[in-house]
Amino acid sequence: MNAVNKTSSQDIRLGLLLDGLAASRDLPLVFHYGGRPVKPGYHVTEVKAGQFQALDCGANPEAWVEIFVQLWDIDEDDRTHMPAGKFAAIIRKVSEHVQLGGSAKLTFEVSDGVQPMQLYCASTPVVCDGAVHVELAPRAASCKPRDRWLAEQAQVAACCGPATGAKCCA
């Protein structure tokens, strides 16, 4: 869908998703993954939250809070896509119960009940054609020390590159 390709970022956090749905509570919420929309009868079958502590591949300690939203992509009866407000209410109930803030990492687990569940990150909600659309992109593995190094290099290049004319950063 054309509107879905206009999304501005991947891997949004919980607060940004809920904020994006707030103004469109009565509109249908349509998730897209694998090049197609979820079926109108989709269910939110489970919402879970966790606090994680880990060591990355560089032995750096990591800690984060994450919410997992499980979508069952099925057709059922004559159902239509869930209203954005109903979805937000389900997610808010869990996030308030376990006291998650808006910065919680957001992961979608999606399956049609036949194919194995896969992990996705979400883009910013976009309103188009009378519905709220959220693109889900496969969540890839990454190396956090490398990701941090690349982000630092990009920041140095943006700050200190010849195109900006700025003095070099410390």
Mean pLDDT by 10 residues, the chain (170 residues): 43 91 96 96 93 92 93 89 96 87 93 94 95 95 89 86 52
Q: Are residues 85 and 98 in the same domain?
A: yes
Domain count across the chain: 2
Is residue 157 domain-shared with residue 135, that is, in the same domain? no
Residues 27 and 80 in one domain: yes
**Do 82 and 35 belong to one domain?**
yes
In this structure, the answer to whether residues 131 and 146 fall within a common structural domain is: no
Predicted pLDDT at 5: 37
pLDDT at position 1: 43
**Residues 130, 152: one domain?**
no
pTM for the predicted model, two decimal places:
0.82
Statement to judge: residues 115 and 154 lie in one domain: no
| pLDDT confidence of residue 156 | 87
Domain with 153, as residue range(s), is: 141-170
pLDDT of residue 164: 52
Same domain, 54 and 77: yes
125 burial (CB, 10 Å; 0-12 / 13-18 / 19+) is buried
Angle between helices 84-97 and 14-22 (to 10 degrees): 140
Nearest to 106 by CA among 17, 6, 45: 17
Q: Which residue's structure tokens are 């010849």? A: 162
Q: Which residue has the tokens 């099925």?
A: 74
Identity at 147, one-letter amino acid code = D
19 and 30 inside one domain: yes
**In this structure, are 150 and 134 located in the same domain?**
no
Answer yes or no: do 127 and 64 share one domain.
yes
71 and 147 in a common domain: no
Per DSSP bridges, beta strands 43-55 and 61-72 are: antiparallel
Counting DSSP H helices and E strands in the chain, the numbers are 3, 8
| Torsional class of 23: left (φ above 0), alpha (ψ -120 to 50), beta (otherwise) | alpha
